[in-house]
Structure 1
Amino acid sequence: MSYNNILVEETRPIGTITINRPDKLNALNRETIQELHKAFKALESQKEIKVIVLTGSGEKAFVAGADISEFADFSEEEGGKLAAKGQKLLFDFVENLSKPVIAAVNGFALGGGLELAMACHFRVASDNARMGLPEVSLGVIPGYGGTQRLPQLIGKGRAMELIMTAGMIDAASALDYGLVNHVVSPENLLSFCKDLANKISKNSPVAISHAIKAINAGFKNTDGYAEEIKAFGQCFGTADFKEGTTAFLNKRKADFPGK
């Protein structure tokens, strides 16, 4: 599949998606959102791909925001539809993907860029990264899940301050806040993320998929404990569970079939 704004690399068991609009600091436009949706969907369907890494081209920006020129003259109705469609196609889609997605945050992750990173299952930042939600400086609010995911990750007070000031924080602060899991040098960012991905890929993909669903349920208007119980029980009916327990009892490494 060919794309205009992204690059996709498959080095099994890892799929890497790179947003490739360096002249626009990798800003998200409608075409890029659509392409990202297709790429994530395609990688999710491939059994051999166990983990997906998402990054931006160059060292300046992961994603420096949305492409404002596309919606500067939108009406209220058009603005609402823009947010709803974007959340469905990309941000909620990534969050609920059955395969783990690691955001490799290189440089600026602002507005829609930070919202995209937060939709990933966790984040690793280069030490030159800068993150923020500057939307209120444009007379609008974050519309791709930022007002919901940021408080979940860093707490209500800090999220309120970051959104209301339209400010940026550096990588060290993001680590301290719990917004990112790790901070590494720019030259080590992708290799670090791929090392993490390889560790994840050795575990049961079926169990990981259930874990993602159960964890996400706790942040929604559902009973996360009930979802955990349901998913826990379902694991007992999988070939991965049989392989994992048999391997453990026989003191060997598991070779999960992924079903």
Structure 2
Amino acid sequence: MQPYVRTSIKERIAEVEFFHPAGNSLPSSMLRELADAFKRLSNTDEVSVIVLRSGGDKAFCGGASFDELIQIEDLEQGKAFFSGFANVINAMRKAPQVIIGRIHGKAVGGGIGLACSCDYTFGTTHSHIKLSELAVGIGPFVVGPAIERKAGKAAFSEMALEPAVWKSAEWAHQKGIYQYLAKDQTELDEKTMALAMQLTEYNPQALYELKKIFWQNTDDWDVLLPQRAEISGKLVLSDFTKSFIKKFKNK
């Protein structure tokens, strides 16, 4: 299947779904499409709730596209690539609608950032997480604020400093990254849609006011996240990172 970002709207619920055959990893083109999708929905009055999901039945999101990372040749390209994640997170933060995350499988790096940028997140017992950036020679700089907002600095530090360690879905649930763990994808879909439908019955303005409270003290992210993207953009040019990515690609 070809990569895609799709948006559908039914009964005041919008679904934003992305897919990439390489483990649902995200190249810059798809990051732009995701950010644009959330921005469009922000101005769509007939949408009260947004569900973020990915296609396939394996990983939810493999994070940054290694195919694109290895092609970055200068700071401008590096900052632009990592700003893609910053733009998606900020678009989700600013959307007036409540965003529900449907995390059906493993999430790595930027995928955890997306999960933590949702306002209510469902996982399954297979939705393990790993913040692998440090092992690659960079760091989880852009997604860090989103993860800290949900799980706290201690949990973020633990993940960031153990980049080779998978954290279980149960661990992520305990830390607040997931609000509910389903036993399988059938239950995941049932719970996700049940909450989405329930939320459509509430006053959209009340939900918007609640969302503003959820995201208090994040107004500086329009500046902070691009600054973090520049840090990653510099580090991705290092010999350490270039060597790691080449070894990974040659496995």
TM-score normalised by structure 1 residue count: 0.77
Between the two proteins, what is the percent identity of the paired residues? Answer: 22
The answer as to whether partners of 2:14 and 2:50 remain within 8 angstroms in 1 is: yes
Q: Residue 55 of structure 1 aligns with which residue? A: 53
Counterpart of 1:42 (choices 29, 40, 45) is: 40
The answer as to whether partners of 2:28 and 2:81 remain within 8 angstroms in 1 is: no
Alignment of 1:187-206 (within 5 A): 187-206=186-205
Deviation track 1:103-124 (CA, whole Å, cap 9, x = no partner) reads 1001111111111111121211
With CA pairs under 8 Å and 6+ residues apart, which has the higher RCO, 1 or 2?
2
3-state SS in 2 of match to 1:39: helix
Structure 1 CA distance, aligned partners of 2:219 and 2:6?
Answer: 32
Structure 1 CA distance, aligned partners of 2:140 and 2:120?
Answer: 20
3-state SS in 1 of match to 2:63: coil
Q: State the superposition RMSD in angstroms.
A: 2.0
Displacement of 1:79 after TM fit?
A: 2.2
Q: Which runs of 5+ in 2 are unaligned?
A: 222-251
Instruction: Report how many aligned residue pairs link the two structures.
Output: 217
Structure 1 CA distance, aligned partners of 2:148 and 2:37?
Answer: 28
Structure 1 CA distance, aligned partners of 2:218 and 2:48?
Answer: 24
3-state SS in 1 of match to 2:215: helix
The answer as to whether partners of 1:133 and 1:146 remain within 8 angstroms in 2 is: no
Displacement of 1:45 after TM fit?
A: 2.5
Alignment of 1:92-111 (within 5 A): 92-111=90-109
Deviation track 1:123-179 (CA, whole Å, cap 9, x = no partner) reads 110221111210011000124x32222223222222111111112212111111111
1:25 alignment partner AA: G
Structure 2 CA distance, aligned partners of 1:34 and 1:209?
Answer: 24
Q: Residue 127 of structure 1 aligns with which residue? A: 125
- The more displaced of 72-81 and 120-129 is 72-81
2:138 alignment partner AA: V
**Quick one: structure 1 residues 148 and 207, their matched pair in 2 at CA, closer, same or farther if it must change by over 3 Å?**
same
Counterpart of 1:165 (choices 153, 162, 178) is: 162
Deviation track 1:7-66 (CA, whole Å, cap 9, x = no partner) reads 222221211111122x21111111111111222223332222110101111221111111
Q: Residue 112 of structure 2 aligns with which residue? A: 114
**Quick one: structure 1 residues 125 and 155, their matched pair in 2 at CA, closer, same or farther if it must change by over 3 Å?**
same
Displacement of 1:213 after TM fit?
A: 1.7
3-state SS in 2 of match to 1:61: coil
The structure that has the greater radius of gyration is 1
**Quick one: structure 1 residues 173 and 51, their matched pair in 2 at CA, closer, same or farther if it must change by over 3 Å?**
same
1:189 alignment partner AA: L
2:162 alignment partner AA: T
Structure 2 CA distance, aligned partners of 1:134 and 1:40?
Answer: 26
Displacement of 1:4 after TM fit?
A: 5.5
Structure 1 CA distance, aligned partners of 2:216 and 2:199?
Answer: 21
Q: Residue 30 of structure 1 aligns with which residue? A: 28
Structure 1 CA distance, aligned partners of 2:24 and 2:100?
Answer: 17
Q: Residue 151 of structure 1 aligns with which residue? A: 148
The answer as to whether partners of 1:59 and 1:107 remain within 8 angstroms in 2 is: yes
Displacement of 1:221 after TM fit?
A: 6.0
Alignment of 1:76-87 (within 5 A): 76-87=75-86
Q: Residue 174 of structure 2 aligns with which residue? A: 176
- The more displaced of 186-195 and 97-106 is 186-195
1:164 alignment partner AA: L
The answer as to whether partners of 1:96 and 1:212 remain within 8 angstroms in 2 is: no
The answer as to whether partners of 1:127 and 1:186 remain within 8 angstroms in 2 is: no
